[in-house]
A = this chain, B = another copy of it.
Amino acid sequence: MSNSDETTDLQLKFDSNGLITAIAQDFETKEILMLAFMNEQSFKKSLETGEAHYWSRSRSELWHKGATSGSTQIIREIRIDCDQDAVILLIDQQGDGACHTGRSNCFYRQINKDGTLSFIEK
Q: Residue on B with the closest CB to A87? A: B111
Chain B residues whose CB sits within 8 angstroms of the CB of A23 once the complex forms: 23, 32, 35
Taken together as a complex, chains A and B put the C-alpha atoms of A108 and B84 apart, in Å, by 11
Chain B residues whose CB sits within 8 angstroms of the CB of A62 once the complex forms: none
Chain A, interface size category, equals 35 or more
Chain B residues whose CB sits within 8 angstroms of the CB of A117 once the complex forms: 7-10, 80
Chain B residues whose CB sits within 8 angstroms of the CB of A78 once the complex forms: 110-111
Q: Residue on B with the closest CB to A81? A: B106
Known contacts: A87-B111, A107-B81. The answer to whether A119 contacts B35 by CB under 8 A is: no
CB distance from A102 to the nearest CB of B (A): 9
Is A101 touching B35 in the complex (CB atoms < 8 A)? no
Q: Residue on B with the closest CB to A50? A: B113
Q: Give 1 or 0 for each of A74-97: 1 = CB within 8 Å of chain B CB.
A: 000111111100111000000000
